[in-house]
Amino acid sequence: MKRILTLLIITLLLVAPVVVSQPPALRPRIRTMVTLGKGIAVSKEDATDFEIVKLGIAKVRVGLTNESLEMSIGVLWVGEERYKVKDIVVSNDTIEANIYSGDEVVGTIAITSIVKQYETVWAGELEINDKQYNVYILEGARRFRPGELGEGLADYCGRYPMKCVQIAKGIATQYCTPEEAQTESCRKKIVEYCKDHPDDQRCIALKRAYCVLHPEDMRCRMELRKFCALNPADEKCVKFCELHPLACGKKSRAVLARVKERAREMLRRGIQQAREKIRQHRQVGGVAPVPPVPPPEMGQPKGKVG
């Protein structure tokens, strides 16, 4: 699995500059790792007809000559065939997107995440080349790299300077004078310290504070699912446990029924409309991308980047 995840990340970073035309793009940086994983797609007509699938989706920042651009990118393998994933709509626990071969839309994917026993599984539907599958993808393990962690903590400390210094009080006291405590210079020292000492408990607390605000990031889900399984009553786990009650030990019949209904709703959510849009797209010669249809119960999607 580790080798597969590495390959997916490399492919994602190679795909990003291709979608930027002019001026030339610099090396992209990962901002949000939405998901990386490997699983199986089973034909709806024949349970013995299945394909091995690998999926990687990320939000990256690409540096241009005078500015930077953020975009969502993705890559999907179905068997030996590789496809681009575009028109991506991501919420806290759902992903919807169109599948492209070259510039042609050839399918759609709609999946929802379910956390059980420290594992995240994405389950839903895949339609590709006029064939329909039920798809299950086991999310891999991908921790923050030092540079990624530093960028995330810098973002959190920039938005919440008081909370940043309060959580990392001991670091601030050690590296900043009392006059510097609330300055940007002090926050930068905290971030640099945590890049070099990611296992320091104060830095872990900062990372969890950042992750509470970014449940759509698989690195944050990995951080929170183990912590919240042991500390479901912690204030940092309220939102996570609402999204993933099974991960927090809530196994009542009502909770199980709610989780199953959410999964069933994703499977029922209007795949026919997506198929019709694909047919219309083909009829007009693939002129414009087809936006996926957001699930009705989710309201407006969090973000959409072509």
The model's pLDDT over 24-61, given as tens digits with 9 standing for 90+, comes to 445 677 888 999 999 999 999 999 999 999 999 998 87
Q: Considering the domain boundaries, does residue 300 fall inside one?
A: no
Q: Looking at 203, 224, 248, which one is the last position of a domain? A: 248
The H-or-E segment that residue 158 falls in is helix 146-159
The Cα-based distances of 251 to 112, 259, 263 in angstroms read 19, 10, 16
- Poorest-pLDDT segment among 172-176, 236-240, 299-303: 299-303
Q: What percent of the chain has pLDDT over 70?
A: 70
- Poorest-pLDDT segment among 88-102, 141-155, 184-198, 236-250: 236-250
The reply to whether the predicted model has a pTM over 0.85 is: no
- Residue carrying the six token digits 């994703």: 266
| Residues 240 and 112 placed together within one structural domain of the fold | no
Would the pLDDT of 192 be above 80?
A: yes
Q: What is the mean pLDDT of residues 74-100?
A: 92
Q: Looking at 203, 227, 248, which one is the last position of a domain? A: 248
Q: Considering the domain boundaries, does residue 291 fall inside one?
A: no
| Residues 72 and 206 placed together within one structural domain of the fold | no
Q: What is the mean pLDDT of residues 247-276?
A: 61
Would the pLDDT of 295 be above 90?
A: no
The residue among 167, 258, 170 whose CA lies nearest residue 211 is 167
**Cα 14 to Cα 29: distance, rounded to the nearest angstrom:** 11
Residue 191's domain comprises 146-248
| Residues 129 and 232 placed together within one structural domain of the fold | no
Q: 64 falls in which pLDDT band (50, 70, 90)?
A: low
Please give the structure tokens belonging to residue 301: 């999607």
| Residues 159 and 271 placed together within one structural domain of the fold | no
| Residues 57 and 155 placed together within one structural domain of the fold | no
- Poorest-pLDDT segment among 43-47, 66-70, 72-76, 295-299: 295-299
Q: 132 falls in which pLDDT band (50, 70, 90)?
A: very high
| Residues 124 and 269 placed together within one structural domain of the fold | yes
Would the pLDDT of 20 be above 50?
A: no
| Residues 109 and 204 placed together within one structural domain of the fold | no
The H-or-E segment that residue 19 falls in is none
| Residues 96 and 13 placed together within one structural domain of the fold | yes
Q: What is the mean pLDDT of residues 260-266?
A: 62
Please give the structure tokens belonging to residue 238: 């309220």
Please give the structure tokens belonging to residue 263: 């999964």
The answer, yes or no, to whether the previous bond of 23 is cis (omega within 30 of 0) is yes
Q: 93 falls in which pLDDT band (50, 70, 90)?
A: confident
| Residues 6 and 119 placed together within one structural domain of the fold | yes
Q: What is the mean pLDDT of residues 124-152?
A: 92
Q: Considering the domain boundaries, does residue 230 fall inside one?
A: yes
> Per-residue DSSP letters for 66-131?
S-EEEEEEEEEEETTEEEEEEEEEE-SSEEEEEEEETTEEEEEEEEEEEEETTEEEEEEEEEETTE
- The pLDDT score that the predictor gives to residue 280 is 66
Pairing of strands 68-78, 94-101: unpaired
Average pLDDT across the chain, whole number: 79
Would the pLDDT of 167 be above 80?
A: yes
| Residues 11 and 126 placed together within one structural domain of the fold | yes
- The pLDDT score that the predictor gives to residue 86 is 92
- Poorest-pLDDT segment among 60-69, 109-118, 147-156, 273-282: 273-282
Number of domains the chain contains: 2
Q: What is the mean pLDDT of residues 86-90?
A: 92
Q: Considering the domain boundaries, does residue 272 fall inside one?
A: yes
- The pLDDT score that the predictor gives to residue 172 is 80
| Residues 128 and 182 placed together within one structural domain of the fold | no
Q: 122 falls in which pLDDT band (50, 70, 90)?
A: very high
| Residues 16 and 161 placed together within one structural domain of the fold | no
Which are the contacts of 164, defined by CB distance < 8 A and separation ≥ 6? 153, 156, 157, 187, 190, 206
- The pLDDT score that the predictor gives to residue 282 is 62
The H-or-E segment that residue 132 falls in is strand 131-139
**Cα 9 to Cα 266: distance, rounded to the nearest angstrom:** 27
Fill in the amino acid letter for 82.
R
- The pLDDT score that the predictor gives to residue 300 is 46
Q: Considering the domain boundaries, does residue 83 fall inside one?
A: yes
Q: Considering the domain boundaries, does residue 299 fall inside one?
A: no
